[in-house]
Amino acid sequence: MADTNELVVVTAHWLADGAPVYLTAAGTWSRALQEAEVFLVEKGEAEASLRGKTEQPIVADPYTFKIEKRDGFIDALSARERIRSTGPTVRVRRPD
Amino acid sequence: MYQYDEYDRKIVFERAEQFAHQVERRVSGDISELQFKPLRLQNGLYMQLQAYMLRVAVPYGLLSSRQMRMLAHIARRYDKGYGHFTTRQNIQYNWPKLEEVPALLRDLASVEMHAIQTSGNCIRNITSDHLAGVAKDELEDPRPIAEIMRQWSTFHPEFAYLPRKFKIAITGAPDHDRAAVRIHDIGVRLLKNEAGEVGCQIIVGGGLGRTPVVGKTIREWLPKEDLLSYLEAVLRVYNQWGDRKDKFKARIKILVNTLGQAEFTRRVEEEWVHIKDGVMKLTQAEIDRVSKFFVPPAYKTLPDSSAQLASFKLGKDREFGRWAQHNVDQHKVPGYSAVYLSLKMPDTPPGDVSDTQMDAIAQLSDEFSFGEIVATHTQNLVLPHVETARLPELYQALAKLDLARPNQNLITDIISCPGLDFCDLANARSIPQALEISKRFEDLDYQHDIGELNIKMSGCINACGHHHVGHIGILGINKRGVEAYQLALGGAPGNDASIAKIVGPAFPPDKIVNAVETVVKQYLAIRSSDDERFLDCYRRVGMEPFKEALYGAH
């Protein structure tokens, strides 16, 4: 069972291009993980669920993932979300 | 190659329009993501880690130059200037935007291409030998039968909702399977019976993933006329008895294993009896109709070029000689060769090709190969009809395009899935490790000395990188949030198919390349001769020497 004191952010896919976006304190979506609002697990999951119902034309599949916050910096705890937030670690276009 | 008729064209254009309406409804909020997801998957559109991904079908890997030009245009117009060739002979685009996908599909339709059934629990792209139609060791060109299976499986109303995805492969070279038929849900081998008639051997229940299995032969020989009805029988048994509750136990290989080969076969034969003489009977007229699309191109009458090819290999131009040795295959027609274009270049994800390269490849295929190109399941391309005498000219052109790395079947000819850099399913990255390995072994003399050694990498257990059948297989895993890599040895995909065995504990990212090098060094130290391939050496000596080299000090 999740530790209710763990910190999470809410993320989703931007419907238009599938890019990862993060829910901000202003209730908007940002492509920058560092602009995400940090929640406790229960509140985060509730927020994700709400956005999933109310923002279908904007985002797809909101969910939460665990983070750590150190000196104001948000760090995803999983390699998956870290890569997702920073982009592929390989060059995406083959140089000509 | 197969040319669409009016009916085919109508289908793909109407499908694009249908999807356009579905996208509109999704964007407006009329339908939810939950409702939209199966619709977009049926059009090959995935939601991946960073963006959407569109998988375009390339039936048995065969492309015309016109189609390749359109793929280049799509890369340029709708994506980030490149495409990715996959282990199923398809091409993927990693960055399309949702509202542009219908226009992309219309562009594909204009050149007789689509993304239908490249995802979802249905019959996927039919794959085959990349040397189909030209291989010297081929019994019969499998492409007419591949095309017949493609038409049969597209929009098949009974099999649109299978327990899970379904993959079929066919080879026409029974003694040298380049299509890896034994690791497919159904593998078809064309071979002769005792009377000398060419028919179909049916292999069922092969697959990789969570439970790698080499397929079982359930029918030794079947006349071609019975192929479709027999496939129907297999699919019906699977459709009825396959597990629909547990996604991880839903592939046909699990059903074959659960029932046992004998019982599974019995149920198939029992079903088949009812349908074998019905509408699925394949007539010779139909086989002939489709075969007409695969008549050989207008080859010149040329003398045998074996000696010329041999002279190229040993000539003064060492780089060209290496390329001729590794990247050129003999052809059934005298004076011709099949040429591999390596998509395994330094600093470039395996299988990736840029839009300008695609345009250039199209041009080269027109100049050298009657406008045909074939995608291989090892993430390379083939120009199948090149005059041997023109190899030097072609080589120069390919070298300028960075497509002439002389590494077919060598250690840097790595198969790698997109991994955690792109894929939503992945546990670990695969591309960076593949590139590091490639860099470690970049010395061509060293690669040549090592000889045939296939490395295959997957970023998760779904095994899209075919790691289970790599001579060296590498699987990316997640250990408490941290990437790690399992090493396995001794896999092979062909007639002598075998599943690789895990050597021992996984390696962290900064140690896996060293581990691969340790394995290679051990092989070089213990091989019985310079000619003993890695796989043969492993099969002779077993795991212990490699395990000892890797873990013995710990």
Nearest-CB residue to B29 (from A19, A56, A80): A56
Contact B349 A90 (CB under 8 A): yes
d(CA A8, CA A36): 10
Q: What residues have CB less than 8 Å from B60, skipping those under 6 apart?
A: B89, B125, B126, B127, B128, B132, B142, B143, B146, B147, B150, B170
C-alpha closest to that of B129 among B69, B175, B71, B91: B175
Nearest-CB residue to A17 (from B52, B481, B482): B52
B531 Cβ under 8 Å from any chain A Cβ: no
Tell me the nearest-neighbour CA distance from B201 into chain A, angstroms.
Answer: 41
d(CA B250, CA B244): 6
Cβ atoms of B327 and B408 within 8 Å: the answer is: yes
Contact B481 A79 (CB under 8 A): yes
Cβ atoms of B255 and B217 within 8 Å: the answer is: no
Task: Let me know if B445 is exposed, middle or buried by CB neighbors in 10 A (0-12, 13-18, 19+).
Answer: exposed
Chain B residues close to A20, C-beta within 8 Å: 49-50
Tell me the nearest-neighbour CA distance from B157 into chain A, angstroms.
Answer: 30
Judged by CB atoms within 8 Å, which residues 22-51 of A form the interface with B?
none
- For an interface test with B, give the residue of A21, A68, A94, A96 to mutate (most B CBs within 10 A): A94
Chain A residues close to B28, C-beta within 8 Å: 57
Quick one: pLDDT at residue A95? 41
Quick one: pLDDT at residue B481? 82
B482 Cβ under 8 Å from any chain A Cβ: yes
CA distances from B137 to B105, B310, B467 (A): 37, 19, 27
Quick one: pLDDT at residue A16? 97
Residue A92 has pLDDT above 80, yes or no: no
Task: Let me know if B540 is exposed, middle or buried by CB neighbors in 10 A (0-12, 13-18, 19+).
Answer: exposed
Quick one: pLDDT at residue A4? 63
d(CA A16, CA B23): 10
Contact A89 B429 (CB under 8 A): yes
Quick one: pLDDT at residue A94? 52
Contact A18 B51 (CB under 8 A): yes
Spans in chain B with pLDDT lower than 50 = 554
Q: How many CB pairs under 8 A join A and B?
A: 89
Closest Cα in chain A to B477: A79
Chain A residues close to B52, C-beta within 8 Å: 17-18
pLDDT (tens digit per residue) in B442-473 = 999 999 999 999 999 999 999 999 999 999 99
Contact A79 B99 (CB under 8 A): no
Contact B32 A78 (CB under 8 A): no
B414 Cβ under 8 Å from any chain A Cβ: no
A86 Cβ under 8 Å from any chain B Cβ: no
Cβ atoms of B184 and B167 within 8 Å: the answer is: yes
Quick one: pLDDT at residue B428? 95
Mean pLDDT in residue range A18-44: 96
B389 Cβ under 8 Å from any chain A Cβ: no
Chain B residues close to A82, C-beta within 8 Å: none
How high is the mean pLDDT of chain A?
91
Which pTM was predicted? 0.96
Chain B residues close to A77, C-beta within 8 Å: 481
Chain A residues close to B435, C-beta within 8 Å: 90
Chain A residues close to B426, C-beta within 8 Å: 80
Residue B78 tokens read as 């709708």
| Length of chain A, in residues | 96
Contact A56 B33 (CB under 8 A): yes
A60 Cβ under 8 Å from any chain B Cβ: yes
pLDDT (tens digit per residue) in A56-66 = 899 999 999 99
Nearest-CB residue to B48 (from A15, A18, A89): A18
Contact B95 A92 (CB under 8 A): yes
Nearest-CB residue to A79 (from B29, B32, B420): B420
